[in-house]
Chains A and B, each alone.
Chain A
Amino acid sequence: MMNKEDIFRLVVEHTREVLPELEEYNIQPNDRLVDLGANSVDRAEIIMRTMESLSLKVPRVELFGAKNIEELVELLYEKIQSV
């Protein structure tokens, strides 16, 4: 089972895939994807790629509301506990 650090690393990996310009930037848990330059399509892509890596099959709407990457990781962690 993945812990929160593992999930954070996955989010960072997929963020860099979608936004290669962040390769050198040290992404922090309190960073907001929108502040890192991810528009709504990029955010959807990052989250879906992470869900795919976690084999987490829940509607994406259930992951709405995270204010930063840390909260997104929390939400993802909760979901993998409950499915």
Chain B
Amino acid sequence: MLRTASFSGQVGLITILEAWEEAKLDKADPSRIGLVIGGSNFQQRDMVQMHEAYADRVHFVRPTYGLTFMDSDLVGLCTEQFGIKGISYTLGGASASGQLAIIQAIQAVQSGQVDICIAMGALMDVSYWECQAFRSLGAMGSDRFADEPEKACRPFDRERDGFIYGESCGAVVIERTESAISRQITPYAIITGWAVGMDASRNPHPSYEGEVQVIKKALEQAKLSPHQIDYVNPHGTGSLVGDEIEIKAIVDCQLSNAAINATKSITGHGLSSSGAVEVIATLLQMKESRLHPTRNLESPIEESCNWVRDQSITHHVKHALSLNIGFGGINTAICFYKI
């Protein structure tokens, strides 16, 4: 199956395998397991390669291209491999896809559709066409740091000039606490609040009001005051406008005391995967009581925040807040509580 799967499909299978084994899902009823795959247009690079390879001999195009060009091929691949028989579909939300998938998985468990729901932020395998368009749009970083690539990815730093793409994929398993305990699993954290809000805007520029709204809603659902949040994992891409607006929303929501770093400074921006990858980064940091550095944060755009800068720190996190923003005016926020 791996031979005819796209790169995103191969990475998705391996990622779910890790989550499956850690969560001991072989012990669970497959008809009560669901899978929500966050993202869309996963296989752009494979598509371009296929089109270029077969441009003058379309007759011989690989039959499996009839499967792999569809995002739902990941649903087929992963449900077949793991025998998942609950619900499964893809869910597109641009750079908020991963977190949107997690929120959808929470709701699938809450509503009783399934007992366990895997949420994956799938790898978005972009081609040079998408990279060029992201640049033309002013979202992706320039070649200013071409000779020092390690310096190019610099969220929240004054010298940033756009996001830097990074391949990634992440999957988390969502279920009720008692369901996890029945398989001798210690949950990483409890989800206490979440929110999704739209800006009603196609413009890729994020909205201050939209971000403030989801932060407040998530805190309200979690019954937390901003001062109780010990750690914020922001969207923080390194985009010129996005970082400015996000940090203003964080400060104005009175979250300046919480420790803050930027996972994308290490991973790059995985687009559809980033929300899930950053939730995993949040959970791992909560588990270890260690916060990772923010690479290249030499001169923060906002000095009043409690940045984790060039060194990791020990920091006990009881309540964490993870944020995402996606093109299309999508804002998401999730609160986690460490048991």
- Interface size class for chain B? 10 to 19
A18 within 8 A of B: yes
Shortest Cβ distance from residue A57 to the other chain B in the assembled complex, whole angstroms: 5
Which has the most chain A C-beta neighbours within 10 Å: B61, B63, B67?
Answer: B63
Nearest chain A residue, comparing its CB with the CB of B4: A45
The answer to whether A41 touches B60 (Cβ under 8 A) is: no
Within 8 A of A (CB), among B35-71: 57, 59-64, 67
- A contact residues, total (Cβ < 8 Å): 13
Q: A17-B3, A18-B4, A20-B3 are in contact. Are A41 and B59 (CB under 8 A)?
A: no
Shortest Cβ distance from residue B4 to the other chain A in the assembled complex, whole angstroms: 6
Within 8 A of B (CB), among A1-41: 17-20, 41
**What are the residues of chain A within 8 A of B62 when measuring CB–CB?**
45, 48-49
The answer to whether A41 touches B3 (Cβ under 8 A) is: no
Shortest Cβ distance from residue A6 to the other chain B in the assembled complex, whole angstroms: 18
Shortest Cβ distance from residue B55 to the other chain A in the assembled complex, whole angstroms: 14
Nearest chain B residue, comparing its CB with the CB of A17: B3
Give the docked Cα–Cα distance between A48 and B63 (Å).
7
**What are the residues of chain B within 8 A of A49 when measuring CB–CB?**
62
Within 8 A of A (CB), among B1-50: 3-4
A44 within 8 A of B: yes
Shortest Cβ distance from residue B194 to the other chain A in the assembled complex, whole angstroms: 38
**What are the residues of chain A within 8 A of B4 when measuring CB–CB?**
18, 41-42, 45
B interface with A by C-beta (< 8 Å)? 3-4, 57, 59-64, 67
A interface with B by C-beta (< 8 Å)? 17-20, 41-42, 44-45, 48-49, 51-52, 57
